[in-house]
Amino acid sequence: MTVLGFDPNTLLADDRSTDIIRALFPFILMVVGGIIFIFFYTLQFVFHSWIVAWSVLGVATIVAGASLLFGGLLGFLFGIPRTGEATRQQSQEQNKQSQEQNNQNSSPDNTKNSESADAGNAIQANTNLEDISDWLTKILVGVGLTQIGEISQAIAQLIDWLAPGFSDGTPEQLAISKGFTLALFVYFNIAGFFIGFLWARLYLPSQFRQADVGQVKKEIDTFTASFRKELNQLVDNDKAKNIVNKYIELKVDSISQDKLYGYIEKSDLMTQSTIYNDIQRIRYEKLYGKTDRTPKKLEKAIDVLKAFVKIDKTAEEHYLDLTELGILMKEKENPDWEKSEEFLSQAIQVRPDSKKSDASPEFHRAMCSINLDANFKTKLPTSSAKQKSILEDLKKSVKHEELLVEDLRQQKSETEPETLYLWNGQKQILPWLEANNIDLESLQVD
């Protein structure tokens, strides 16, 4: 518990508290002495009537407390510290004028920077109480000097009105009570004024400084936390890119699936996008036969892509992950047609509306179905149900230009140019069509 901002348990724990107590102590003694004086003044009425004594004590206590409070309020208004806001505003105004002059000769980008800097300093300390204190002190001093006669009359009227409360009603006691009332009023007003003034002058400035320091510290802590978070994110991004890149480029023999997942999950979206693009690049390297190391890199890329399947949350991300994983499963050195078909079918099931025109899963699933068809391997027609499913996938692939009938015609005429790159299993499409007596033109029919 604190009293006027002081904790009794640490009242004299530092020099500042000691100095404040020393300054206030004489006036606190004044208050205590005034209370004792009220008590002795009230004793004279005990022998006359206990009711009158208690009444005088009550009235005296209330008047003393009100006077102390009124004097303390005046002292507070006269002693309230200035935060220096006016000085800061004047300095800011000068800085703003100099910035405007500089901006006339600077680029638009610099102007934007200065505007954003001004916007960052837009929130300032509230000085309403200081303004009110300044106005009231000037008003009180001005009115006091010009209307001192009327003020004296008003105080005299107040004394006449309060005096009966300090007497037993006899004329002699009433005259004495007027002097007591005036002394009580002036005495406690002076004590309250100096207590309020010294408290405002000695205690409040340190609290204002602590508040400013606390605000600055809070802003520094916020900035430090934000900077540390961004720095940690940069470290995580760099670690994810380096480790995944070394793994895909065969510079690291093996990394567990959980570690891959952990590295990629901690990286940001931009880093994840970069890693994902590297996986697609490897897939196209295989398609165009650019490097002998691609088959091994595809195996590594599949491990990385499995981590993305766990990480990505949106329907579109999940769809793209499953599609890419299904394609890689059939493009690796030893194609896993069953797993590829499974992933591609899952991708088709979760495909969002934004990807309805994407026929890539159907195109590659058709190749998987053809290579898994036991009848086709023995050069027999495919069962009607299986044939219908494959044909639907091929028609959608042609409709959305994943599969071009012109490429199939080139294969059929045996004049396939070297620039025609085929996916793993794509060469089996034309033989499968011929084995099932399906004309190429029928693929273009809805």
Q: DSSP for 285-314, please give it.
A: HHHHT--TTHHHHHHHHHHHHHHHHHH--S
**Domain boundary pick from 187, 202, 217:** 202
Give kind and range of the element (H or E) at residue 143. Answer: helix 128-146
Give kind and range of the element (H or E) at residue 128. Answer: helix 128-146
Give kind and range of the element (H or E) at residue 353. Answer: none
**Domain boundary pick from 167, 202, 237:** 202
Kindly state whether residue 416 falls inside one of the protein's structural domains: yes
Angstrom CA distances, 226 to 123, 217, 223, 229, 230, stand at 21, 14, 5, 5, 6
Kindly state whether residue 319 falls inside one of the protein's structural domains: no
pLDDT at 118: 45
Domain limits at 435? 335-446
Kindly state whether residue 121 falls inside one of the protein's structural domains: no
Angstrom CA distances, 344 to 108, 265, 303, 361, 396, stand at 52, 24, 17, 5, 14
Kindly state whether residue 358 falls inside one of the protein's structural domains: yes
pLDDT exceeds cutoff 50 at 385: yes
**Domain boundary pick from 185, 202, 219:** 202
pLDDT exceeds cutoff 90 at 116: no
Backbone angles phi, psi at 382, to 5 degrees: -75, 150
Confidence band of 108 (pLDDT split at 50, 70, 90):
very low
Burial of 224 (0-12, 13-18, 19+ CB in 10 A): exposed
pLDDT exceeds cutoff 90 at 58: no
Kindly state whether residue 265 falls inside one of the protein's structural domains: no
pTM check: above 0.75:
no
Kindly state whether residue 384 falls inside one of the protein's structural domains: yes
Percent of the residues in the chain that have a pLDDT greater than 70, as a whole number: 78
pLDDT at 373: 92
**Strand, coil or helix: what is 383?**
coil
pLDDT at 92: 56
Q: Among 100-114, 188-202, 283-297, which range has the highest average pLDDT?
A: 188-202
The residue ranking higher by pLDDT, 305 or 151, is 305
pLDDT at 234: 93
Kindly state whether residue 207 falls inside one of the protein's structural domains: no
Kindly state whether residue 241 falls inside one of the protein's structural domains: no
**Strand, coil or helix: what is 6?**
strand
Q: How many domains does the chain have?
A: 2
